[in-house]
Structure 1
Amino acid sequence: MKTNFINYLLLLFTTAVFSQAGHIMQGVGAVNMSMGGASTGQPLDISGALQWNPAAISAFDDKIIKLDVGLFFSSPELSSSLPPNMLWQPGDFGPGAPGSPAVYGTTEDDRGMSPMPALAMVWGKEGSKHTFGASAFGISGFGVTFPQETNLPMDMNGNPNPNWDPNNSNSINWPQAMNGFGHIESDYMLLQVGLSYAYEVTDKFSIGIQPNINYSALELAPNPTANPTMAGYPTTDKATAIGFGAQFGLFYDSGFGLKLGTSYKTAQKFAEFEFENTYLDNSSAKNNFQMDYPAIFSLGLGYSTGDVDLALDFRRVDYENTEGFIETGWTQTASVAGFGWDNISILSAGLQYKGINKLPLRFGYTYSSNPIPEEITFFNIPATAVIKNAYQFGFSYIVNDSWKVDAVYHYGDSNGSTEGQILSPFMASPANPLGAIPGSSISYEMTTSMIQFGISYTFNK
């Protein structure tokens, strides 16, 4: 019975988590999300404090437990184009068929909605210098489901299709025998369990520490990190890995409204994913791939006066020194070395208005730069979930001194496409190391929406 319960919790927390900034969740829980993720210097709820600054849990003098569950929907679109004279025949890796038309198409993701839970607890006591916390958050993820293209120029034997429309055919999703990727699907998630401790050095200044244990899972179809054969790239099973890291924080409350906070989350170091690969000809092989979680530096400012709480956070995410994101490009065996992401900056801002009795209202905004350089857009098709602008509206209803319910609506967009050229290892050369196909294009964009609800209980003193 106990094992079944643990398995159910893992299933709930690992079904799907989708990113907002790079592959990082912009916030955790309905309250923190509604403030745009800002809480490093303005701890309005325990989930936001535990996620972004363990020192800030010293602001809570009670024993509090909080559960949030959301429904997340994303709508990525993947587009590609080939110039004239580039129509590949099945099994042909050359420059293309002379006289063939230009090809363009778009594929829409058909994943649907996914759950997004968060569980947090804080043990605080008025007059005590010690505050403890525990959390289980889905803090990272990406996932796409792009079906295989059915509007094809020919069959697998090379016989022309008289009904083919080259203006509505996405070559990226052509079958692998025609040099596409076929059905493209990815699922990545990271569950982080943290144990936090904050110590009040003075009545205004606190320090905090949070060791973390992490569980991640990754599934790819096809798997570009594996070596291709004549049958193409394989499909993997779901591989898992365990990782460890920590977070450190400082929090200052002036006592007259101004609050400051800073934190540093170390890189979360993982064991390698061990993929069991199956090729289209039913042959099998194994390969390993390591993907860590990047270090994050956060700086937060908060100000409270009367019925208004303001929060502003700045974060810097260090992808360029993170395993799995440092390297990119083709290996000597035509597999992909890594994602090759740049460092990004994130700006989160939120406002809470408490002038309505028992019904505080919140508004939040989050900006994130794009980690994907133009020249390697092609390598990041499985991880298209990059949101530049996110907008949130949320509220709480204070039932009584113990119970409170929260809600938030989120909308995000990529503010245009991430664009680059189609790459092929068969066209790589010293002058063209990535194998960019002249005149080709690959792009993706997306929007996201989410409704999340939370409930918290404060134990009576």
Structure 2
Amino acid sequence: MQKWRHLLGVSLTALSLAATAGVAHATDGYFVEGATARDQSLAGAGSADPTESLTIANNPAGLVDVGRQFNGDISLFMPWRGYDASANSALIAPGSYNSERNAFVLPALGYSQPFGPDSAWGVGMVGNGGMNTTYSANIPHAACGFFGFPQQGVFCGGRAGVDLNQGLIYVGYAQRFGNVDLGIAPVLAIQTFSAYGLGAFGAFGLSQSPNFVSDHSPSYSVGAGVRAGAIYHYSPALTFSVQGSTPIWTSNFANYQGLFAQGGSFDVPATIGAGLAYKFMPTFTVMLDYKHIFYSGVASISNAMAPIGIATMGSANGPGFGWKDVDIVALGLEWAYSDRLTLRAGYSYSTNPVTSANVMLNVLAPGTVTSHIGAGFSYAVTQNSAFDFSMLYAPRVGVSGEEYIPPAIGGPPGGYVPGTNINTWLSELEITLGYTYHWDTPVAVVAKY
């Protein structure tokens, strides 16, 4: 047992570092739709019907309901993103261009163990989300020569883009009080960020720290917060859940203090959510979930892009991506077709955080998708172990708006340029393979015909 716990701890630490070293996710804004194959096949539903140890990353109250088990999942995430800019755009390169690097890998691990019949603990590591764009250095931009920049590219700085990656480590405890489960899980965040090709914003004097805007090595940040939840078992067929997380307060990205508001601050937003699960039959469950993400609580994300003035970037009220809070509704269906095979499907809709007034900067962070369609299955190879599979697809959605020219570049008065148009867009496909091992043999629910 001691060797197993040591190995689990080492694995969680190693994989959390791997998750922040070059992985990107972007679904509900930039938050993942779910940590596991089951979560994703249900399109994020299921908080009121926990079956896996990685419930700790959604509703830690569920730890008391899942027994002793291990979960391991690995996702192949494929985002396609880009922008289209009208021919009279000046600051951003005109034309239609796709971001490169369209495949990323993300691991997740979880372990839960009961203390007794009415309490349990667990640990988990998940990728919370992230964002990546990588635009070629060879994108032609006639304005670069006019402004005196030797390079081409989206913003006359060669290869342009960002890499944001967030990994979360949870340690949680849950207790049952009659028909109510309560759970709490402190969380440690490890995140990295890098930006490249954005030097023009510093060169024009738009940042209060012009040497810390772009083209530095990845900057690391750590922080902590708390996730908690409750599950109410109204009857054997009907359960309700509530859950949420405080903001995860993190250290600043020191290498990018001239890019992000508040000197490089980039906390993880708070969330709240609720759900219900109803078993129409012992083998068929319908799940409905709601979640709200408070992007407005993080200045670097929510501050409006404009106006961008002299030495405003990196300041307390400096420009951000202008993202709005996001509301998500998810519907999931799960059918135990046999004692070995369980089928799942789900659909979710989220409001769009990106607005037309902030499109120009959001070519770097096009979190524009709104619909997610999931499907998957679990297949039990033994009484104690099962493989899980899911596919989650988000159709292409774009947001359009006028180009914004800062006064330092366009001369007074600067501002939005009538007649210009920038459309930034995103679509996604995620394929996840998972493995679950139960030490306690679960009770088989067999379909009756």
Identify the TM-score tier after normalising by the shorter chain: 0.7 to 0.9
Residue of structure 2 in register with 1:268 after alignment: 248
Aligned partners of 1:18 and 1:224: how far apart in 2? 25
Pair 5,451 (structure 1): closer, same or farther in 2 beyond 3 Å: closer
Residue of structure 1 in register with 2:97 after alignment: 107
Residue of structure 2 in register with 1:398 after alignment: 380
Pair 44,225 (structure 1): closer, same or farther in 2 beyond 3 Å: farther
Unaligned runs of 5+ in 2: 1-6, 442-449
C-alpha distance after superposition, 1:74-102 (max 9, x if no partner)? 1102111143xx768xxxx9xxxxxxxxx
Residue of structure 1 in register with 2:447 after alignment: none
Pair 113,13 (structure 1): closer, same or farther in 2 beyond 3 Å: same
Residue of structure 1 in register with 2:109 after alignment: 119
Aligned partners of 1:129 and 1:459: how far apart in 2? 17
Aligned partners of 2:215 and 2:321: how far apart in 1? 18
Q: 2:16–2:168: 8 Å Cα contact kept in structure 1?
A: no
Residue of structure 1 in register with 2:194 after alignment: 219
Aligned partners of 1:214 and 1:255: how far apart in 2? 36
**2:131 is aligned with 1:142:** yes
C-alpha distance after superposition, 1:50-88 (max 9, x if no partner)? 12111122212x2101100111111102111143xx768
Aligned pair count reads 416
* TM-score normalised per structure 1: 0.82
**2:121 is aligned with 1:132:** yes
Pair 427,124 (structure 1): closer, same or farther in 2 beyond 3 Å: same
1:321 to 282, 297, 322: 297
**2:45 is aligned with 1:64:** no
Aligned partners of 1:271 and 1:323: how far apart in 2? 14
Residue of structure 2 in register with 1:348 after alignment: 330
1:234 to 214, 228, 237: 214
C-alpha distance after superposition, 1:190-209 (max 9, x if no partner)? 1100111111011x111111
Pair 270,331 (structure 1): closer, same or farther in 2 beyond 3 Å: farther
Residue of structure 1 in register with 2:19 after alignment: 13
Shift of 1:261: 0.1
Which secondary structure state, in structure 1, belongs to the residue aligned with residue 203 of structure 2? Answer: coil
Q: 1:56–1:261: 8 Å Cα contact kept in structure 2?
A: no
Q: 1:82–1:439: 8 Å Cα contact kept in structure 2?
A: no
Q: 1:31–1:44: 8 Å Cα contact kept in structure 2?
A: no
Aligned partners of 1:255 and 1:432: how far apart in 2? 64
Residue of structure 2 in register with 1:31 after alignment: 38
Pair 226,216 (structure 1): closer, same or farther in 2 beyond 3 Å: farther
**2:332 is aligned with 1:332:** no
Pair 299,225 (structure 1): closer, same or farther in 2 beyond 3 Å: farther
Question: Which residues in structure 2 correspond to 1:402-417 (within 5 Å)?
Answer: 402-414=384-396, 416-417=397-398
AA matched with 2:286: L
Q: 1:325–1:338: 8 Å Cα contact kept in structure 2?
A: yes
2:233 to 253, 261, 265: 253
Instruction: Please say which of residues 215-224 and 236-245 is displaced more in the overlay.
Output: 215-224
Q: 2:243–2:273: 8 Å Cα contact kept in structure 1?
A: yes
Residue of structure 1 in register with 2:404 after alignment: 423
Shift of 1:334: 5.4
Q: 1:345–1:369: 8 Å Cα contact kept in structure 2?
A: yes
Residue of structure 2 in register with 1:244 after alignment: 224
2:365 to 383, 406, 424: 383
The CA RMSD measured in Å over matched residues stands at 3.2
Shift of 1:264: 1.6
Shift of 1:458: 1.1
* TM-score normalised per structure 2: 0.84
C-alpha distance after superposition, 1:196-245 (max 9, x if no partner)? 1111011x111111111110101111347973358996322200111110
Q: 2:68–2:114: 8 Å Cα contact kept in structure 1?
A: yes
Pair 175,70 (structure 1): closer, same or farther in 2 beyond 3 Å: closer
Aligned partners of 1:339 and 1:216: how far apart in 2? 18
Shift of 1:428: 8.5
2:180 to 195, 205, 208: 205
Aligned partners of 2:302 and 2:424: how far apart in 1? 22
Pair 150,138 (structure 1): closer, same or farther in 2 beyond 3 Å: closer
Aligned partners of 1:430 and 1:108: how far apart in 2? 30
Q: 2:309–2:408: 8 Å Cα contact kept in structure 1?
A: no
Pair 244,429 (structure 1): closer, same or farther in 2 beyond 3 Å: same
Aligned partners of 2:166 and 2:356: how far apart in 1? 26
AA matched with 2:297: N
* % identity of equivalent residues: 20
Pair 131,158 (structure 1): closer, same or farther in 2 beyond 3 Å: closer
Question: Which residues in structure 2 correspond to 1:40-119 (within 5 Å)?
Answer: 40-47=47-54, 49-60=55-66, 62-83=67-88, 104-119=94-109
Residue of structure 2 in register with 1:166 after alignment: none
Residue of structure 1 in register with 2:444 after alignment: none
Instruction: Please say which of residues 268-277 and 112-121 is displaced more in the overlay.
Output: 268-277
Shift of 1:186: 1.1
Pair 381,68 (structure 1): closer, same or farther in 2 beyond 3 Å: same
Instruction: Please say which of residues 19-28 and 328-337 is displaced more in the overlay.
Output: 328-337
Aligned partners of 2:298 and 2:147: how far apart in 1? 44
Aligned partners of 1:6 and 1:254: how far apart in 2? 35
Shift of 1:288: 3.7
Aligned partners of 2:269 and 2:142: how far apart in 1? 43
Unaligned runs of 5+ in 1: 94-102, 160-172, 279-286
Aligned partners of 1:216 and 1:405: how far apart in 2? 30
Rg larger for: 1
Pair 225,194 (structure 1): closer, same or farther in 2 beyond 3 Å: farther
